[in-house]
Structure 1
């Protein structure tokens, strides 16, 4: 039976089970938190990003989640430096051109700081003279550091980045470093819409 694990990756943790960096490296990995054999991350989350990771032992499910062709939506909460203008938000919605080409259009909205947000260690640097804001961005690609590069391209550097949702799976109150077994959700039928 396919296993599905949802994990809230803390800041400064690699999104892999072993550290293939320099010898004697003490970087934290998934193995510090997850003791389920045979599951692997369906996609990556940068070391300096936080939030939802989906892990499974099913290679086809893993490919479905990560393949650019599948266009699995991924939703992020980005704390950005500056006060976003309507023009900057529209540019993100339309898609921006990065060094590796234009991005697909994104869903973007201004939001309040996420409810129940945990403190980050170390804390985000604050400058009294520069305001910050929170954006919710949903993208259907998974390029390297894509959200950070998109916000920077429109003049809104990302200070903190949290992935809140991957496809139909969400953080749903998972504390940093905690995981839950969501295997039963794979067998559950999708909710049907009532006919109009």
Structure 2
């Protein structure tokens, strides 16, 4: 079953809330912890004064059918990091990236011929150190080079071979020229810039 997000002004206070639910079988449960949900929708405090009273509650237990029916319901079926390849005629084909690129949220991407073989490669960066305790931090995205094959497939190159390894929450890459050399500048959240030549 897909992840589902209910979008609504649940408590009619003029502010729109989003509640993400995951399915267990055919039953949708909110991912939000009790305190987080009550902070967004204070009227729920009366119904859920304790963690035990909230435990095991489905989205249909928490809200009436009337409220849920006036919600916008969005579904997420694919969580893979992927690229969309243009065939040149306005058609796009999705191509999932290698399994190594699925271990972290991607916030930065750059394409270039990083290994000088005439084929475009992809550089990915990410991480999320400020996450909620129930989800944990994401710290596996130290910069991953994906070597292009020219046919829409990529091979992950280990950091000891690519020479690219940056700790922190990577948020952007820029390819710049300095003294005729190509340089990747790496922007990280609340950190100094890193630079790599290729």
TM interval, shorter chain, is under 0.3
Task: Give the structure with higher Rg (CA).
Answer: 2
TM-score (norm 1): 0.23
TM-score (norm 2): 0.23
Where relative contact order (Cα < 8 A, 6+ residues apart) is larger, the structure is 1
